[in-house]
Amino acid sequence: MKKKIWLWNHYATDMYKNKGGRHYWFAENLIKEEYDATVFCANTYHNKSEFIDTSKKRYVTDILNGIPFVFVKTTTALGNGLDRVKNMGLFYWNLFSVAKAYAKEHGKPDVIIASSVHPLTMVAGIQIAKKMNVPCICEIRDLWPEAIFSFNKARENSLLGKILVAGEHWIYNKADALIFTKEGDTDYIKEKKWDKVQGGNINLDKAHYINNGVDVEAFNKSINEKVIEDEDLESGKFNVVYVGAIRPVNNVGNILDTAKLLKDDKEIQFLIYGDGNQKEMLEKRVAAEGLDNVKMKGFVNKQFIPYILSRSSLNILNYSHTQYNWARGNSSNKLFEYMASGKPIISTVKMGYSIIEKYKCGIELENSTPEELVQAISDIKNMPEHQYKLLGSNAKRGANDFDFKVLTRKLIDVIDSLD
C-alpha cells in the first residue's frame, strides 16, 4: 500500500506555475519513490492579482506532470496589509473543510507535511493531523517571528511579539517532527532554552535539517533548451552576475558602488537580473553616475536563469550584513542554482554553517565593503585557470549533494522515523 503524503505550502501555487520548486520537486521524487504525494496550496499567486478560479467551491484540483495539486480558495493579497492577513486566515480556515472533503474522496493521508513561511499552515497541519490521527511534520523555512523582529515590524518584548513567540513554541512542541532548512536553526531552540536538555519540552531528536536545493537534471536541461538572446552574455567579457530580488535586504546598491570603483576595467561588466522596490532607484543611479559597466536587466523568467548563470564568469550572493541573522546558515534557492552553474561564487556576507566554505567554491567577505568586493572579483578574475576551474567544479559537486533526489531521500528518512 502506497503511503499518502500531503504537502501543504500556501505559496506552492507559484511552483505549479513555474513547474519547479521545493514542494513540486519533493512531490515529483516522492511519486518516483512509490509514494502517493499531493500538494495543497492557495488558489492565489504570491503578490499577484491573478488566481485559479475555484468556481465558488472551497477547492479545485489539477494534475501537473503527474503531481496532484489541490487549490484552496482564498482572496488575493497584494503587499503586506490587511489583505495578506485575510489571505492567510482564509487559507487556514478553509484547509479544515478541504482536508475533510479531500480525505473522504481520496482517503486520509499517512503523514501531513505542513510548511511555513507563515505559521498558520503549520497550526492547521497539527490540528487536522490530530483529528485524523496521523502525524504532522512541520517544516520551518524561515525562522518566524524572528525575521519579523529583525525587520523591525514588531518588537519581541511587545504583547504581539510574546504571542507570536508563544505560538512558535507551541508549534515546535506539538509537531511530531520538525524540518529546518538551515543547518544552524536548531541552535535557535537551544538559545530559547526550549530543548529538554535545558529543562524545556522539545526533544531535539525530532529536529531535522533538509536545505533547499536544485533539480540538477532539470537545470542542465534548461541550459540547453531555454536559451535567451542577450548580447551581453555573449560579449566575451568577465561577467559578474547577480540574479534575484532588488530590495533593501539584498543591498544591490553595494554592487553599483563596486562597479564604480571598476569603471576603468573594460573587461569586467556587471549584469543584474531581477525586480524589486529598489530597481527604479538603482537604474537612475546607473544613468546619473555613467556606470556603463552595469546592465540592469530587469525581471527575467525563471526558465532562463540556468542559461544566464551558465554564461556568467562569477555569481554574486549579495546581502545586507545588518538586516538578517546569517549565523545559522543560508537556504536561498539562488545559492544552489549558482552552484549548479559550475561558476565561482562571492557572498557579501560570511555565513555560519557555510556551504561555500564547506565545498570551497568561492569567497565570503568579512565586511562587505565595495573595496573588499573589488578585491575578491579581481582575485577570482586573475587566478590561474586551473584554480578558477577548481572553484567551479567544487560548486557543481556541491550542487549534487543538494539535488532534490538526494533531499527527497532525507525527507523519506524523516517520514519513516514516525512509524
| pLDDT, tens only, 344-397 | 999 999 999 999 999 999 999 998 899 999 999 999 999 999 999 999 999 999
Which residues partner with 113 through β-bridges?
Answer: 7, 137
- Grid cell, residue 340, equals 549548479
Sign of CA dihedral 171, 175, 181, 183: positive
Query: Same topology for domains 4-213+403-416 and 216-401, yes or no?
Result: yes
* pLDDT higher than threshold 90 for residue 155: no
Find, among 306, 304, 302, the residue nearest to 315 by Cα: 306
- Grid cell, residue 206, equals 525530532
Predicted pLDDT of residue 351:
93
CA distance 16 to 24: 7
Report the share of the chain in percent with pLDDT over 90: 81
Mean pLDDT of 211-230: 95
The domain 4-213+403-416 is placed in CATH, from the list 3.20.20.70, 3.30.379.10, 3.40.50.1240, 3.40.50.2000, at 3.40.50.2000
The angle formed by the CA atoms of residues 270, 273 and 274, to the nearest 5 degrees, is 140
* Band of pLDDT at residue 280, cut at 50, 70 and 90: very high
The pTM of this model reads 0.93
- Grid cell, residue 195, equals 530543548
CA distance 413 to 153: 37
* pLDDT higher than threshold 90 for residue 204: yes
Mean pLDDT of 165-193: 95
Find, among 314, 262, 257, 338, the residue nearest to 293 by Cα: 262
| pLDDT, tens only, 299-356 | 998 899 999 999 999 999 988 777 677 889 999 999 999 999 999 999 999 999 999 9
Mean pLDDT of 43-69: 89
Helix (H) / strand (E) element for 88: namely helix 82-106
Q: Which fold does the domain 216-401 belong to in CATH?
A: Rossmann fold (3.40.50)
Predicted pLDDT of residue 193:
96
CA distance 119 to 166: 12
Dmax (CA) for the chain in angstroms is: 68
Whether 110 contacts 134, CB under 8 Å: yes
Listed by start position, the domains of the chain span 4-213+403-416, 216-401
Mean pLDDT of 270-295: 96
Pairing of strands 67-72, 59-64: antiparallel
* Band of pLDDT at residue 151, cut at 50, 70 and 90: low
Helix (H) / strand (E) element for 315: namely strand 314-317
Find, among 244, 222, 255, the residue nearest to 332 by Cα: 244
Average per-residue pLDDT for the chain: 93
C-alpha distances (whole Å) from 117 to each of 9, 102, 144, 379 are 8, 23, 7, 38
Pairing of strands 294-298, 314-317: unpaired
The angle formed by the CA atoms of residues 203, 207 and 210, to the nearest 5 degrees, is 175
Cβ within 8 Å of residue 251, ≥6 positions away = 318, 319, 320, 323, 348, 368
- Grid cell, residue 275, equals 525586480
